[in-house]
Structure 1
Amino acid sequence: MFRRREAVPFSFVAESESFRSNVTPPPRERPTASQLTGRTVTGLLIVAGLVGSLLFGLPALESPQSPAHSQQNEASERG
């Protein structure tokens, strides 16, 4: 339940902030042409799917005109 904290010398903490490793990480691998093409095609498919769903979804979001309203328009046009 109680945590036991050990004293750490201040000089050790100060040195740890300025520590730099002399080991360099390996260079990153460059993506191949097929990987770049695959990423591009995947991105375009995602964008096309979003645009398509928006185009198909917009008519469903429009408020339908009530039949009573259209009958009133027809009656006013006749008379």
Structure 2
Amino acid sequence: MLRRRESVPFAFVAEADRFRSNVTPPPRERASASQRFGSVLIGMTVVAGLVGSLLFGLPALDHTQSSAATQKSEAAEGR
């Protein structure tokens, strides 16, 4: 088996933790007021949708109310 003497092409990845750059990245742009308002509005819309689906879905999932209504209707039909 032949042995290669050259280094692995991606050997620099192993040395990445030792590398320090002297170039600082540019500062992040701050979001404008309209962008912040838009993200808050989207978040409130999502939360309102979840709360609304919970409020409309809970009565349909209530087992005691639906079984009582079924028993009353069956009793009324039997008369």
Q: TM-score under structure 1 normalisation? A: 0.65
For 2:24 and 2:53, how far apart are their aligned partners in 1? 47
- In the TM superposition, what whole-angstrom CA distance separates every residue of 1:6-57 from its partner, at most 9, and x where no partner exists? 556xxx8886432101111111000000000000110000000000000000
Q: Which amino acid aligns with 1:40?
A: V
Number of the residue aligned with 1:36: 36
Residue identity (%): 62
The aligned runs of 1:52-71 (5 Å cut-off) are 52-63=52-63, 64-66=66-68, 67=70, 69-70=71-72, 71=75
Q: How many residues align?
A: 66
Question: Considering only aligned residues, what root-mean-square deviation do their CA atoms show, in Å?
Answer: 3.1
Unaligned runs of 5+ in 2: none
